[in-house]
Each structure stands twice: as C-alpha cells, then as structure tokens.
Amino acid sequence: MGTAPIAVALDSREIEVLREWVAETREIVSTLKIGLETFYRVGAEAIEIVRESGCDLFLDVKLHDIPNTVAGAAAALARYSPKYLTVHASGGPEMVRAACTALPETFVTAVTVLTSLDDQVLREVGISTPALDTVVRQAVSAVEAGARAIVCSPHEVARVRSEVGGDIVLITPGVRPAGSAPDDQKRVMTPVEALAAGADLLVIGRPITGAEDINSAALAIAREIDLS
C-alpha cells in the first residue's frame, strides 16, 4: 500500500506521548507535522524524533512578520531541514519571497484562510470577500512569490488547483473521517472527498491521535484512501 498522503499533527505537550504517536504511525503515513505548541515546548527533541522516523518533517510555525524578520527566522530554521515550512500568505508576496530565498530547498508553504474561520468571522475582522475568493487570491499571490505549497481547506482546493496548476503541493487541514466531530474546524471534508477534490497531503490530528488505538485509526484512514 505504501505510505498514505497524511500529515499527522503532533500536537502534544508531552514528549513521550509524541514519541508514542510517531511510533504508531510512522510506517503508515508520509509526513509528521510539528505545530506551534509542540515546537515552543519541545521543538528540537520533537524534530529529532521525526527525523529518526523516516517521515517528512512538516514544520508548521506559520511565520508572519516583515520580510527581513521572516527571512532571518527561516534561515534560523534551516538547520532542521524541514520538507515543509509554513508562512502566512496574508503577510504579502515580499514576505513569502523572503522565506523562499532563505530556504531554497524547502517547500515554503503559504497558509491561506485558516479552517477555523468562515465568511462571518472574516467579515468581523474586516475581510469582505468570501473565504473562497480570499483563499484563491492569497494562493495565487504566494505561488507567484515562490511558494511551492499551499494550505487551504478542502472546500477551496479544486478552485486553487485550477489557478496554480499541478506542480504546487496542496495541503488540506479540516479533514475528518465520516462520523468524526469537526472540533474547531468549520470547513471540513472526509479524506476521500479532499483527495478527490485535488489535495496532495491531508493534515489529520485528533481523529488519529485522539483514538483509543492510534495505529488502527491511522491504518483505517490509509486503507479508506487506498481503496477509494
């Protein structure tokens, strides 16, 4: 079957828990994602565990600052050799370009509209265009600035694909197996639906790491994808 195009979100405060999650999923999934909480708490140790696993390292720190600062931060993270490194697309093309220049071997990954947001929340923060239009505009701008991957919800992935072409890696959080609780995600799809829409890599956290049997949960999703 090979490894599934899944990035398991390693959101844990405890390094031993994280180590267990990696051990239970490393032979099933292609990628392991370290987010902000884990990076701030146990960053270097967590990264070493991912490196030892043989999976791709997805460093999800969502850089967002002036271009010079982002360039310096990206350069500082180069020692970890991440496959993917996230920046906020809303930081603008010069900021995205600065990260790409600092990490030419990494897939600088532009995060568009967070999957915890919907049109109503966007209006509350002063963005009048619908999420779909905002995502597409940000994705196109980021790719033109050098981003090699885009994060968007599965609801926008088909439209983004049509705009950025087939060479850009499209990564979709907000993926939940059928019957799973959406938690704090608002724009969600099942794994099969997200891949059919054009996603390349699915970010899945709690449906796997919150399961009683983590290995079985990851394997069930991988098989569902493989059989679709």
Active site residues: 62
Q: How far apart are CA 129 and CA 76, in angstroms?
A: 35
Q: What angle do CA 74, 26, 224 make, to 5 degrees?
A: 110
Q: Is-contact 199 154, C-beta < 8 A? A: yes
- CA-to-CA separations, 33 to 36, 55, 119, 140, 189, in angstroms, rounded: 10, 10, 27, 24, 19
Query: Which DSSP string do the residues of 125-162 spell out, in sequence order?
Result: TT--S-HHHHHHHHHHHHHHTT-SEEE--TTTHHHHHH
The two structure tokens encoding residue 36: 């902000």
Tell me the residue type at 181: A
Question: Pairing relation of β-strands 84-88 and 56-63?
Answer: parallel
Mark residue 45 as left, alpha or beta (left: phi above 0; alpha: psi -120 to 50; beta: remaining).
alpha
Beta bridge partners of 9: 33
Buried b (16+ CB within 10 A) or exposed e, 27-48: ebbbbbbbbeebbeebbeebbe
